[in-house]
Amino acid sequence: MHTPCLRAASAVLIMAAFFTITLPAQPPTPPAAPPPPAPINHDFDFWLGEWNVTTPDGKPAGTNRVESVAGGHGLLENWTGDPAVGGGNGKSLNCYNPARRQWQQFWIGSGGGMLELAGGLHDGSMVLTGQHLVRGQPILEHISWTPNADGTVRQFWEQSRDAGKTWQPVFDGLYRKK
């Protein structure tokens, strides 16, 4: 014997099963695209490319491939020093850190040398500085990359071993696109 409540409950279950089976499923919402890099993330884009690097007197210093990584949020440098001048290899990762409001570079060379630098654009040049210890002595590093009107880029690196009173050039390279 079926009671009216049991018949109503059965009808609801049958309708629920019908709608569950016959109604098309909603397509999943695609994930939101990541936001594009902020304009400041492109301050160092002038360094992107495949480069032949020479010293100020025109002698080969090495080659460099600088590529955009992480959806335009960073640059990866791939340095190969010219073996004729004892050049080593190395890589750097460069990005703008919004929390610190500065560009940062982490470099490691094939000889085990490491640099951590920070800074930003100054008068059209990317200028990064840092300090580290070498055999217990603090060394200040100052490296600038300056784009030139002819499409070349000058990298000038200097060090101070006396807290910035005097500076010694370490590297002066002119980057020309391959």
- The CATH number covering residue 64 comes to 2.40.128.20
Main-chain phi, psi angles of 108, to 5 degrees: -140, 135
Q: Is 10 inside a domain boundary?
A: no
Q: How confident is the model at residue 28 (pLDDT cuts 50, 70, 90)?
A: confident
Q: Is 25 inside a domain boundary?
A: no
> Residue 49 and residue 120: Cα distance in Å, rounded?
20
Q: Is 150 inside a domain boundary?
A: yes
Q: Is 50 inside a domain boundary?
A: yes
Give the pLDDT confidence of 96-134 residue by residue, as tens digits.
999 999 999 999 999 998 999 999 999 999 999 999 998
Give the pLDDT confidence of 131-160 residue by residue, as tens digits.
999 889 999 999 999 999 999 999 999 999
Which range of residues forms the domain containing residue 98? 41-177
Q: Is 143 inside a domain boundary?
A: yes
Q: Is 138 inside a domain boundary?
A: yes
Q: How confident is the model at residue 6 (pLDDT cuts 50, 70, 90)?
A: very low
Q: How confident is the model at residue 8 (pLDDT cuts 50, 70, 90)?
A: very low
Q: Is 153 inside a domain boundary?
A: yes
pTM to 2 decimals?
0.79
Q: Is 22 inside a domain boundary?
A: no
> Residue 161 and residue 126: Cα distance in Å, rounded?
22
> Residue 144 and residue 122: Cα distance in Å, rounded?
9
Overall number of domains in the chain:
1
Q: Which residue has the tokens 């940062």?
A: 104
> Residue 141 and residue 167: Cα distance in Å, rounded?
9
